[in-house]
Chain A
Amino acid sequence: MTTTDVAAFVGRYPFRSITHGTADWLLAQMDRLGIERAWVGHLPSFLYKDPAPGNAELLQIVEPHRDRLDPIPVVSPGLPRWEDDANRAVELGAPAVRAYPMHQGLDPCGGEMRVLAAALASMGLPMLLTVRFEDLRQRHPEDRASDLPPSAIRTLMRSDPELRILVTHADRSFIEEVHFGLTPTEAERLLWDISWIWGPPENQLAAVLDSMGIDRFALGTGMPMRVPDTPFCRVELLNLPRSEEDALFGGNLDRWISQYHD
């Protein structure tokens, strides 16, 4: 089992200053917290009209650290020749690609996203979707994109029987609405990070682990925007057996990835 953070970033955030956007800071936090690998996105790319330059910058940043940092390039299916970006991700060995329909002005479950979903499914490449970067209440006045809606995940999952989606930064109600709005077979192709699920006293994380099963969840921190200790503290407060902690921190992700490559 490899402890893996599926929701890390490098780079700047367009709507406010980020103090720590470097790979070195990311690696230092990973060392501090015992995170062995991270799936790394390029933060500013979610607003780029053409994500290709952002992807190139991401690769440049993570290249010296490929033993620990996996690039997660962006593919924007509203652009001509977006297939080139997806193919390039496969060539690079990226474990997934990111898409940002809400920030790219795309219908999150419209034709372009469904075509991307089908393409990724046929390539065996998971799609990584982030529900939100910041709480709605704290956003910059010009940051007008809505949160990704749960209906988009349900629709995309139903659109292709081979598609896998990893969803980060979703809260309890979002996760439950999607999970129980899919068949068990559909829901098995989804993985959720735990970065936005509350712990005690409300015990929302314990509730979803109990109702959905621990297998459906993975570690995500949201650093450098969010304090990376958060998911670890939530899990520690659950007092889980070591085997279940291991599953959350990497075992589930390892199995989710490998079962589609066997």
Chain B
Amino acid sequence: MLIDVHAHFYTDRSGRSDWQEVNAARLDAGRMIGITSHVASILGTWGEHSPTYFPSPDDVTHANDRMVELAKTHREVLGYCVVNPNYTDHALSEIKLRLKQGMVGVKLAASRRANDELLDPVAALAGEKGVPILHHVWHHRRRDWPGQEASDATELAGLAGRHIATDFIMAHLGGGGDWAHSLRVVRDVPNIWVDLSGSGVDVDMLEAALSEIGPQRLLWGADVTLGTGWAKLRYLESLGLQNDDLELIRFGNAFRIFPEGVFHDDN
């Protein structure tokens, strides 16, 4: 089994004419790599109608509708419920609705800093429902970057510390920024799990993740670059890890934080 905990899909409102090809390319490449489950989200309309990282409630609803449809038509696809926490009531109602429709987690991107108390009801509800939150992170964000109110690991740790019954996935360790900073921050935060996805393929990032965090809290993922995800998996396999440890990263840890029985092994 191999579970990609950080996948994305697109819709006809994603601002790109090739959205169907890109979705199909992910599924095709996933089959070649051996991915048995893509846990995915759609970030609103990816900027077409509202900003990717600040999606309007309408765009959030559209994205979650389409994510539910995709999961229904593709057994290997599972959905995160995307929310914009600035619209608290909408966010909470979306989470309640989408989990009933089969979604398995919550996706927080960069609409509000992670340590802002506005995220508390979202984090509390995820914990109550027993689903993890995949949180976009800019590793060691030294300043504001345009287009997003990105959080770094320190800010995510603040939220995780207030919600110890909720599991958080720190997004894409290879997704940009200083991964070494993030590993230091989350080393002793037991409810933050580290997703290895992203286009970054630093040899030392993987080895530091193993030594700082250990295989017990690492999750495999690809995000928007499946080739780098596969390469990191192969490199990890070459390091001589015990098979049990490799299986934790490939799927075992995902089994621990997502609701029981959501993953299939028949793809």
Contacts and interface: CB of A to CB of B under 8 A. Distances in A.
Interface of A: 16-20, 32, 134-135, 137-138, 141, 198-203, 205, 223-230, 232-234, 236-237, 239
B29 A237 contact: yes
Contact of B231 (A17, A18, A32, A233): A233
B22 A16 contact: no
A230 B204 contact: no
Contacts of A226: 201-203
Count chain A CB atoms within 10 A of each CB in B26, B33, B199, B231 and give the residue with the most.
Answer: B231
B224 A138 contact: no
Task: Give the secondary structure class of A's interface.
Answer: loop
A138 B26 contact: no
Contact of A137 (B23, B176, B238): B176
Count chain B CB atoms within 10 A of each CB in A137, A205, A223, A237 and give the residue with the most.
Answer: A137
B226 interface: yes
Given A137-B176, A138-B176, A227-B235, A233 B204 contact: no
Contacts of B142: 141
Nearest to A205: B227
A225 B203 contact: yes
Nearest to B176: A137
Contact of A201 (B29, B201, B231): B29
Task: Give the secondary structure class of B's interface.
Answer: helix
Given A137-B138, A200-B26, A229-B235, A237 B203 contact: no
Contacts of B178: 138
B231 A229 contact: yes
Contacts, number: 96
A141 B230 CA distance: 30
Contact of B29 (A16, A200, A228): A200
B11 interface: no
Given A137-B138, A201-B26, A234-B231, 13 more contacts: A16-B204, A17-B204, A18-B204, A19-B204, A20-B203, A32-B238, A135-B199, A138-B179, A198-B199, A227-B232, A233-B231, A237-B226, A237-B227
A232 B230 CA distance: 10
B203 A223 contact: yes
Contacts of A227: 201-203, 206, 228, 231-232, 235
Contacts of A236: 32
B47 interface: no
Interface of B: 22-23, 25-26, 28-29, 32-33, 138-139, 142, 176-180, 199-204, 206-207, 224-228, 230-232, 234-235, 238
Count chain B CB atoms within 10 A of each CB in A18, A199, A201 and give the residue with the most.
Answer: A201
A237 B29 CA distance: 6
A134 to B, nearest CB: 8
Contacts of A237: 29, 32-33, 226-227, 230
A23 B221 CA distance: 31
Nearest to B28: A200
Contacts of A228: 235
A202 B176 contact: no
A232 B231 contact: yes
Contacts of A224: 203
B226 A199 contact: yes
A120 B197 CA distance: 41
Nearest to A224: B203
Given A135-B176, A227-B235, A237-B29, A200 B227 contact: yes
A233 B23 CA distance: 19
Contacts of A239: 32
- A-B pairs, 3 with minimum CB distance: A199-B227, A201-B25, A230-B231
